Amino acid sequence: MSLPTRALITGRGIPVMENDIDTDRIIPARFMKTVTFEGLGQYAFYDARFNEDGSKKGHPFDLPQFQGGTILITGRNFGCGSSREHAPQALHKYGIQAIIGESFAEIFIGNCTSLGIPCVSLNKEDVESLAQLVEENPEVIITIDLNEKLVKTAEQNFYLEINESFRKSLAEGIWDTTAELLQNKEKIKTLYDKLPYTKGFVA
């Protein structure tokens, strides 16, 4: 299956500048009682956005100046906790196309890559400068360039880091792993037959 490249992503930013934002924050477990991923966008950051009476708390996702933003800007260890793909699905369905942060939890970054959402890291100073820039001028256009490994704005460029295999997958449009893995069906069978435990250790 050929997929679009995700080498260049351009949009406005939404800064959510906290560290260790866990997947229970991104989507509370009570919203995962579903057999599809449909409709999860409305629950993104739900308890951080809404009081129990439904009134808004003033989370960046609800501030007027950040409406229409597609690039989430955040701190360290974003997406820690559970493996729920509901978390990146909720962000994606809300409208997030890419995430810029200081660092990301490993399962989360894998889930995002499977959905074609690049998660790129900047160093602490740079991510703070970028967030500051967006706070001051929410209209700033940000481009994530995976070929040049840069986060670009009209005023300043920042060097980004991303695992090389994730970068390649996203830039070359080969982030549908199922399609890639299926190419090796014969090799899988050979390995299956070779492993002692697949035959209960009976030769």
CB of 96 to other proteins, least distance (A): 16
* Token reading at 61: 């996702």
The answer for residues whose C-beta is within 8 angstroms of residue 69's C-beta and 6 or more apart is 11, 12, 13, 14, 95, 138
CB of 5 to other proteins, least distance (A): 13
CB of 37 to other proteins, least distance (A): 6
Closer to other proteins at the Cβ: 20 or 68?
20
Q: How far apart are CA 4 and CA 7, in angstroms?
A: 9
Closer to other proteins at the Cβ: 142 or 169?
169
Binding region for other proteins (CB under 8 A): 18-20, 22, 24-25, 28-30, 32-37, 47, 52, 76-77, 80-85, 88, 103-107, 110-111, 114-115, 124, 163-166, 168-169, 172, 174-175, 177-178, 180-182, 184-185, 187-188, 191-192, 195-198, 200-203
What does each C-alpha distance from 3 to 9, 15, 61, 111, 176 come to in angstroms? 15, 29, 29, 16, 8
Q: Please give the radius of gyration of the chain, using alpha carbons only, rounded to the nearest integer.
A: 19
Closer to other proteins at the Cβ: 12 or 92?
92
| Rounded to 5°, angle at Cα 7 from 2 and 9 | 115
